[in-house]
Amino acid sequence: MFRFNIIAQTKGGDQHNVVALGGHTDSVGAGPGINDNGSGTIGILEVAKALTKYSVNNAVRFCFWSAEEFGLVGSTKYVQSLSAEELNKIALYLNFDMIASPNYVYFVYDGDGSAFNLTGPPGSDKIEHMFEKHFLDVGWEVKPTAFDGRSDYGPFLNVSIPCGGLFTGAEGVKTTEEAAYYGGKAGAWYDPNYHLAGDNVKNCDLGAWITNTKAIAHAVATYARSTTTIPKRTHSKVKRGLPKAKPHLRHSHCGHQDLLE
């Protein structure tokens, strides 16, 4: 288990209007953790590397969380460590956890609450719709996934920061309709190797990972240019009353270093 968060922020861009994104670096003892969550962290790293060739209007903060599998420990400690002033600098947070499931569906967090009746902080709906449009533009329809705080975006929701993100499924069962559209096997888990020894490189879907990583790049490019579609936050430390993550399913010190120019 990694004991430290790693936080890297661009030197360029408005340091008082930060686009944050992240994923967790740890895995469960039973599995190598390549989809959960090597897929998300490597996707974020690819975008961070590419971003070094560009300038940004808004600062971009890349977050790599520890101990997600033990109850969102790293991200929770980080959010709790920030003052109200620092929290108000974060325009939005994007989360990427499991984006290469072998029996994948392209899921987007249900920020507007239209599918699961749990609405995110203002602006979360705009993030969901941005992802929906992007996937349509590249030839895919997406499905909503519950915005229940089960991964590292939960602590950000709890302090009213707009959130969004992508997911390709874990222990949920793929429907016949989903299999007809995305391919794969109906009646099986989206990731049959979830939290098991088979969560390795061989059992990840590279095509799904590439599609989702390009979507991460699109989101970062969109909001690094402008966050005008995201309402300004006027308060912090407001609890949303999210259900607690199940410790056996999901899910410090913090290091901050300016690595990107």
Point out the residues that are catalytic: 68
> Cβ(101)–Cβ(211) under 8 Å?
no
CA dihedral sign, ordered 215, 218, 220, 223: negative
Bridge partners, residue 143, by sequence: 107
**How deeply is 52 buried, as exposed, middle or buried, from its count of CB atoms within 10 A (0-12, 13-18, 19+)?**
exposed
46 alpha carbon, distance to own chain's centre: 15
Do the bridges between strand 163-167 and strand 107-109 make them parallel or antiparallel, or are there none, so unpaired? antiparallel
CA–CA gap between residue 35 and residue 200 (Å, rounded): 7
DSSP H or E stretch at residue 62:
strand 58-65
